[in-house]
Every structure is written in structure tokens, then in C-alpha cells.
Amino acid sequence: MEPELTGVTHLLVSDPRVPQLYRDYLVACHGILRATIPLLQTARREALARDESASRTLASYLETHIQEEVGEDEWLLQDLEVLGVDRSTVLEHVPSPQVARLVGAQYYWVLHVDPIAILGYLAALERDPPSLEFIDDLVQRTGHDRAAFRTLIAHAARDPDHAEELDDLLDRIDLTEDQWLLVTLSAINSVHMLAMVLKEIVQPAVVAPSGIEPARVVLETASGALGISGATTITTFAGGGDPAAGDGGPATER
């Protein structure tokens, strides 16, 4: 695993708030995975529109890979339900700018440069899955029911095969020097943005006054700059406590 991502992962799992942070992590992952199938479908459509060997190879690979990835966002919703987080709350949650930057960069490269960029994104997401030992340790640290780790366990089991398939593709696909550069840039950016997503969970960018969620501070700052006033409803997963008890759990509405 890349050092930046390794470091922030260690911060997350060793934080005393890890039971809550794990819920926030799953919510962030849902924001990524719910966008991944549409992204892969876009990349395949763009590849099919190009008359070159690499694009045809990519389109064929994505056709199979999309089928293998379908439903993972639903798994995350089920994991979160085990933790007492209602799916409607997750679906209404606005993903962070870091999540948008991670996925959005891929849309830019796929639509405006070359769909081959998606291979760097997939490499970042699938080349270094969590081990079962890591998951066992995380279950113990959080104290959560193991049923809330279905998605991680599935990735631990499936991603080594996916990584092998991706390695095989990269060995045989005929890429130009510029295409290799794009795949490399895509992978580096994706790993960095994954680290930023985790860092945002562990260390919110906005230092909020006591008792005020970071997301609300961002909203109030932006509203002030734009001259907006009045009641606004937001959803944040930065709070702590039991969501079922309505005491500031992972989803809080203001």
C-alpha cells in the first residue's frame, strides 16, 4: 500500500473513535461505490466509440468487470443498517468534496482525454485489498457485529483475483506512451484522493467550535460568503452517539 494511504489507514484504525469512524468510512465508501458502476459504464461506452486495439480490449474487460461489481453499494447499505444507520439517511447524504474529486477526475479523463484512464482508478481500488487478519482486528477494535463487515470481507476474498485479472490486462494491452502516462497519473491521483477521503474522516478539515459539526461550519461559512440566510437542512456523518436514540449519531439533521 502507498505510504500516504498506509499512514492515514493506521490513524483511522488506531483512533479511539474507531467505532464511529468505521460508520463514517462506510458512508464515504458508499459515495464512491454508488458512482463506480456508472463511471465504468461511461468508460466502456467511450471505449466502444474509439476504433483502436486498446479501446476494444478495454471495452471487453469492462463488460465483464461491471457485472462483477454490480451490487456493492447495496452491500454497504446493508452493512450500515447492521450499525443502525438507515439507508435513506445514507442515500440523502451529500458526499464530501474529496469523494467528488476522486470520481470526478476519472470522468474528466474518460470523457475528455482517453477512457484508458479508468485502469489507473481500478488499480488504486483493487490492487491492495484488506486482509482477513486486518478485518478481524478491526472487528475487535470497533466492537461491531461482524455482519457489518460484509463488504470488506467480500473485497478481501475477491480483489486478489481482480488484481490478477487487471495485471494480466495491463501485460497484454497495447498502450502508447501517452496512454501509459495517463494510467499512471490516474492511479497516483486515485491513491492520493483515497488517502484524502480517509484523512477527512479522521481529521476534519474544518475545526469546529465545540458542539457544532464541521459540515455545519462549512455551510454557515459558505452561506455567509454568498449572502444566504434562513433555515437550511444538512446531513452530516461527523457526529457521534447512537442514531437510533437520536443523540447525534452518524446522521444529524439541522
Sequence ranges of the domains in the chain? 3-203, 207-254
* pLDDT for residue 238: 35
* pLDDT for residue 251: 40
* pLDDT for residue 5: 86
Whether the CB-CB separation of 99 and 30 falls below 8 Å is answered with no
* pLDDT for residue 239: 36
Low-confidence ranges of the chain (pLDDT < 50): 205-219, 221-222, 225, 228-254
Quick: pLDDT tens for 164-179. Answer: 888 989 999 999 999 9
Phi, psi of 109 (to 5 degrees): -65, -40
Whether the CB-CB separation of 38 and 12 falls below 8 Å is answered with no
Buried b (16+ CB within 10 A) or exposed e, 80-93: beebebeeebbeeb
Q: What CATH number was assigned to the domain covering residues 3-203?
A: 1.20.910.10
Quick: pLDDT tens for 196-236. Answer: 999 999 986 444 443 444 444 444 544 554 554 443 332 33
CA distance 82 to 89: 14
**Amino acid letter at 133?**
E
* pLDDT for residue 235: 31
CA distance 92 to 95: 9
* pLDDT for residue 204: 66
* pLDDT for residue 1: 52
